[in-house]
Amino acid sequence: MIAGVVLIDLLTKRWAAGSLPGRRVRVIPWLLHFTFTENSGGAFSMLQQGGALLGVVAAGAVVGLLWMLHKESATYEVVGLSMIAGGALGNLVDRIARGDGILDGKVIDWIQFPNFPVFNVADSSVTIGVAVLIISTWIHERRSIRIGPEE
């Protein structure tokens, strides 16, 4: 799953870089547009000059996620952790491959909804992976709660 997320992310970023610069494509008017941007910072364009720091954090996160995946066996947790790792790796590839130095490259973002920052497939994968983990934790906790007196 990790490799699939990275592959889809990199292919869509390559498409965006070749097709979208200088254009804004209306996919669903008033709802979804494709537009090419480059982000040197983190999520929601925070830490604009912190690309190298973000790259180190992402690399550490990927190592930690892979370690967790090695120990995890529950399906939902594996899916969530794999989506987060794939998204982190997808953006890390941009930071490594698209800069003059190591880890200072800009990340390609290209999906835009109204009143929301432009993002990419990797960002979506991280967000969905976190949601899967939250929901699976909630379901697991809910199942472990006993209602009524213990016997």
Of 9, 94, 104, 123, catalytic: 123
Q: Give the CA count within 13 Å in the CB-facing half-sphere of 80.
A: 16
Structure tokens at 111: 């999906």
Does 109 qualify as catalytic in the annotation?
Answer: yes
DSSP secondary structure code for residue 45 in this structure:
G
Length of the chain: 151
Of 9, 94, 100, 109, catalytic: 109
Q: How far apart are the first and last CA of the chain?
A: 43
Cα–Cα separations (whole angstroms), residue 15 to 5, 9, 65, 146: 15, 10, 28, 51
Structure tokens at 98: 């698209």
Does 100 qualify as catalytic in the annotation?
Answer: no
Rounded-to-integer distance, Cα 1 and Cα 5, Å: 6
Residues catalogued as catalytic = 109, 123
